[in-house]
A = this chain, B = another copy of it.
């Protein structure tokens, strides 16, 4: 399924409720790919929004979430010479300060790893079926988070059609 990768273990996708460990995941990437020159990663964390937020409730579309992440990873491997990549996205209740998403990309060259990680995050935000709802520290439930126009603009930079 992945264009430039023969080895399935070079790609790891997980949609899960439990937290992840960037150290363990980085070691895994290192163990499955050879001739790596750079490993870029990004951890998305639940922001406190100046102390008002207590948690985010993350809803997802089971099946389509994994499928869309695989599709986006496929495009990423077609575009950059990656050796391995990992995408982990959590769902359920995520308290402030906890991890939401992890991206790791490994390549022979630094720029490819950086750009691929940036691209993956842009497309996860606009194409992966997840939705966030706010929970406030006063116990009330907030609104569903509105999609930011800047996320669509960020994704549009990469010149891939909708």
Contact = CB atoms under 8 A, between A and B. Distances in A.
Contact of A117 (B22, B97, B114): B114
Interface in A102-156: 108, 110-111, 113-114, 117-118, 121, 154
Contacts of A22: 22-23, 26, 41
Contact of A45 (B37, B41, B45, B50): B37
A12 interface: no
Given A30-B97, A38-B43, A40-B40, 6 more contacts: A23-B24, A35-B47, A35-B48, A36-B45, A39-B43, A41-B41
29 contacts: A21-B23, A22-B22, A22-B23, A22-B26, A22-B41, A23-B23, A23-B26, A26-B43, A30-B45, A34-B48, A35-B47, A35-B48, A35-B49, A36-B45, A36-B97, A37-B44, A37-B47, A38-B43, A38-B44, A38-B45, A39-B42, A40-B40, A40-B41, A40-B42, A42-B110, A42-B113, A44-B110, A47-B108, A114-B114
